[in-house]
Amino acid sequence: MAKRKGRGFACINYPIGMNLGGDPSQALVHSTPDGKFMVSLSSIDLGQGMKSVTRQIAAEALGVPVADVYVDTADSDTGPHCMGSFASRGTHRVGNAVIRAATEARAQLLEAAAEELEVDAADLDTDGQGNIHVKGAPSRSITVADTAVAAQFRQGRTVSGRGIFLIPPSEANPETGEMTPVSCFAHGAIVVDLEVDEETGEVEVLELNSAYEVGRALNPKLVEQQLVGGAWMGISHALYETTEPYYPSREHGPVDFNSYLMPGPGDLAPHHIAVIERPAEDAPFGGKGPGEMCANPVIPAVANAIYNAVGVRCDELPITPERILRGIRANGGAQPGGVRR
Amino acid sequence: MNSVEFRKELFAEERADNLSEIGRPTVRQDILGHVTGRSAYYDDHLFDGLLHMRCVRSPHHHARIRSVDFSAAERMEGVRRIVGPADVPKNLNTLLSLINFGKEDEPLLSERKTSYRGEPVLAVIADTERQARGGGPRRARGSVANGDRRRRPPAAAVRVDWEPLPHVLDVEEALAPGAPTVNETYPGNAFEYHGRYDHQKLRFGDVDKGFSEADRIVEGRYRMSPIEQAPIETCGAIAAPETGDRYVCYTSTQALFFSLSTTAKLLDTASSRLHFVGGTVGGGFGGKVDSIVEPMAVLGAMLTGRPVKFMWDREEEMQVGAPRGAELWIIKDGVAADGRILARSFTGYFDSGAYTRLSSYAVVKSTGHLPGPYTIPNVASNVFCVFTNRTPATAMRGFGITGVDYAIECQMDRVAEAVGMNPVELRILNAYRDGDMKAHRRVAKNTALIECCQVAAQKAGWQLSPDALRQSSKEGGGGRRSAIPETATDQVGRIGERRRSQLPAEPLAGPGPRGRVPAGTAGPATEAAPPQRPDMAMDWEREKSPAAALPEPARPSISPPPRIPASGISAASASAASPQAAEAPYAPKAPFSRGVSKPGVSRFLSGTRRR
């Protein structure tokens, strides 16, 4: 009896946004009297960080500091329509809508500044620090705050914008399945190292090494948080979780977290991540949305590592100790597949 | 300890890294509330005179309702109202009717029969949760009556005369002739696609020809059990009448207008009468799209004129709330001796449970994803959305993709073993590249699978051959690989056909005529709608090309400190070179003083518990 080490690999791509389109999102942007910007959405941020990403996108597109932008969302009386937070669509769809709204607001901001500076709006640029200046002549400038005051109290001009992003609906062909499912894909690959106790069937994940391609890391800390958490969820899905442990039988279903198993802090393995950025042409600043896809390669990589460790094909999820032990017994003992390096 | 590195040298020529705000580790605007426990959940909204709603649920997998008698429950202490199917103005819906996909198939409260254990038939509204409480699905033994009124919850005092019916729990059994009909809207126990077939087809090339040319045939059968989204905050909503003939609803939803529109439809009321407020914390992971709790809570508020809370407990969340459904995937590959996959066929089953919810959509999404991130000249699939007598399934992180990715990548391991190849090199050999034609007849672009494989293997110290390391997503694609082949088709599996006679489920099997779609057949790709006015189109010149960028940008793109002052938060910089290990661990300057509970303060207040 022994613990057997195993190494497994898997790689995936992931479609960004609702399949077959037809899922719009809208955004409104307006300036307060003193040149701060409010982004109004109805998109839901249940912890994943969409408010933060859309805030950075708005600041970038407006050309103002992120501290001067606030995102207000999740109220149907004030926010324009959004389909919802699913299908990895938030960053892509809402982000694009925010770019359009912010761009329209920026155009009005520059027109107002042009009137104050008595120049052509096309000759103006922002410095990202709260100032607007004549291109090539940084000393001829006006602050965003002064511009907003002038626009709203002297010129009678709004500094606001509207944006919608829509991939129009399309349909799958009934005979061939021809379709335009989505417009861009994220990618991931992972190597899982683990150890299987051939006496108990228990699995300990030892280390994860991964590479995820996310288009562009709009906020690297949020990307890191998604990838670390998502990989944990993948391990949990592979080895622990189910509402029906003897599916298709409905018996022995868990009703709380005592019987619904998940890995605890002691079951977490070190995860070494490489982030790769290949911007997608129709995504906001190229960012694809790493949220959903990061759990996916972990699950088969765990299954493949267990096969490498003890020679049991894990064709049913979750891969419980019971299933591994039954597999080892059916094979007449563990059959290690050899060291992979 | 974890580590994160940003491999900026890859695809650097396609990316400018000199943006001002994008690419910075800006601290979230809501983080202080999250880390101090002050961000409000929907349940933190407090109302004077709040009433509580609980459901009476079926204890059977499948049963006809002969009669319901709730007269005893109605008289119990604290009970304000029993809500039945007749109280729901439009008691039939399907979620995706909002995008015109599928037929109405699910009542909010069931009147004639129930099709899964835990299906709601009535709701009890009472002054306290304890008075309303009927326990979870398995404790709601409807046929028991009488007993001690003070101890027995009203939901258990409801007398339902059940007639249990034969049930089916297995997807393959559900499609066989003679299986009990789960959902009368779909008598064949399968969602109907395009008004024509009981499944979604994918046909690209000729898999039978590919199999005959292959050196090895590799087959696998993969199954995933249902799993729970497990958000920290269970699904729920609080609705209250407002002045001006409107209703406010604080909800856990992941899709605010989806839930609002569904509520307006089921309750047959103008959407302008509804004011929905969503949360900012609590997690979702896909399980908060179904829009069940919002119509229930608003209906309760309409019927009683009082604020009403409808909140699932953890048992309901796990056994009555929709999980990620089970999937079954059968894959057959034809492989050349050198590892190239020449043909791949799939038979897929999504176990939708008793109603459609969103599984019909997952079938199409998974079909568009096949055969995975690989260029394979012949691909075919039949994917079914099957109705069984279990809790309806719904979305979860990776919906439509996670299950089939598990199947595909386990299958790739089998193929590597069959041809004696390093499994990473097998992926690189078959990987899709820029310019390749995908099985759904659109050209691949912006691909990066090969680079992910190379980097992950390198990080793990897994040796790849020089040839595998030389490969690139940007080279070697297109050309012959961009062609759409002549395609074999069939018409097996028309709606109702499988009900009459046993039919094979796999593609291009079974009786009936065969067809050929000529090579090169494809329609135009759907493109994003352009900006509606020119001044909404961003001038991408502002994102300067790398060639035009200054040699040394004033601010590195990854490591500047966040500009938002956040007192009490260690302003952790996300440096590509120095992972978290290099930073001092976070420590509060003073103990937290703002706790969650407030002893001595009544919770029966109107307002928000947390600020």
Distance from CA of A207 to the nearest CA of B (A): 9
Instruction: Closest CB to B410: pick one of A168, A278, A300.
Output: A300
In a domain, B515, yes or no: no
Q: Report the side by side order of strands in the sheet with B308-311.
A: B79-83, B120-126, B51-57, B308-311, B236-242, B246-251, B274-278
CA distance B22 to B558: 9
One domain, residues B265 and B201: no
Q: CB contact, 8 Å: A123 with chain B?
A: no
The tens digit of pLDDT for each residue in A129-175 reads: 999 999 999 999 999 999 999 999 999 999 999 999 999 999 999 99
Chain B positions in Cβ-Cβ contact with residue A212 (cut-off 8 Å): 452
Contact (CB<8Å) A74/B61: no
In a domain, B571, yes or no: no
Q: Which CATH number fits domain A25-165: 3.30.390.10, 3.30.360.10, 3.30.365.10, 3.40.50.1370?
A: 3.30.365.10
CATH of the domain at B330: 3.30.365.10
pLDDT at position B303: 98
Q: How many domains does chain B have?
A: 3
Contact B262, B95 (CB under 8 A): yes
Last residue of a domain, one of B459, B490, B521: B490
CA distance A202 to A325: 9
Q: CB contact, 8 Å: A250 with chain B?
A: yes
Instruction: Report the run of H or E that residue A139 belongs to, with start and end.
Output: strand A137-143
> What mean pLDDT do residues B189-216 have?
98
Contact (CB<8Å) A49/B28: yes
One domain, residues B35 and B49: no
One domain, residues B379 and B450: yes
The tens digit of pLDDT for each residue in B324-336 reads: 999 999 999 999 9
One domain, residues B345 and B217: yes
Q: CB contact, 8 Å: B373 with chain A?
A: yes
One domain, residues B283 and B363: no
Q: CB contact, 8 Å: B577 with chain A?
A: no
Instruction: Closest CB to A44: pick one of B4, B61, B253.
Output: B253
CATH of the domain at B157: 3.90.1170.50
Q: pTM for the whole thing?
A: 0.92
- B window 177-196, beta carbon within 8 A of A: 193-194, 196
In a domain, B355, yes or no: yes
The domain spans of chain A are 3-16+184-330, 25-165
Q: CB contact, 8 Å: B462 with chain A?
A: yes
Instruction: Closest CB to A13: pick one of B274, B288, B449.
Output: B449
Number of CB pairs, chain A paired with chain B, less than 8 A apart: 500
| A3-16+184-330 fold | Aldehyde Oxidoreductase; domain 4 (3.30.365)
One domain, residues B149 and B255: yes
In a domain, B549, yes or no: yes
Contact (CB<8Å) B381/A60: no
**Which one of B337-346, B538-547, B580-589 scores highest in mean pLDDT?**
B337-346
User: Whole domain around residue B237: which residue ranges?
Assistant: 43-165+229-319
CA distance B50 to A8: 54
pLDDT at position B148: 42
Of the pLDDT bands very low, low, confident and very high (cuts 50, 70, 90), residue B550 is very low
Token look-up 């009678």 returns A156
Supply the ipTM of this predicted assembly: 0.97
In a domain, B586, yes or no: no
The tens digit of pLDDT for each residue in B47-63 reads: 999 999 999 999 999 99
Instruction: Closest CB to A46: pick one of B224, B254, B400.
Output: B254
Convert B501-561 into a string of H (helix), E (strand) and C (coil): CCCCCCCCCCCCCEEEECCCCCCCCCCCCCCCCHHHCCCHHHCCCCCCCCCCCCCCCCCCC
Contact (CB<8Å) A15/B440: no
Find which of A18, A81, A124, A175 to mutate to test the B interface (most B CBs within 10 Å of its CB).
A175
pLDDT at position A48: 86
Contact A190, A254 (CB under 8 A): no
Last residue of a domain, one of B439, B471, B490: B490
One domain, residues B239 and B332: no
One domain, residues B386 and B449: yes
One domain, residues B114 and B196: no
Of the pLDDT bands very low, low, confident and very high (cuts 50, 70, 90), residue B538 is confident
Distance from CA of B71 to the nearest CA of A (A): 30
> What mean pLDDT do residues A243-261 have?
95
Contact (CB<8Å) A19/B521: no
Contact A108, A158 (CB under 8 A): yes
**B71: buried, middle or exposed (CB in 10 Å: 19+, 13-18, 0-12)?**
exposed
CB contact burial B178-198 (16+ within 10 A = b; e otherwise): ebbbbbebbebbbbbbeeebb
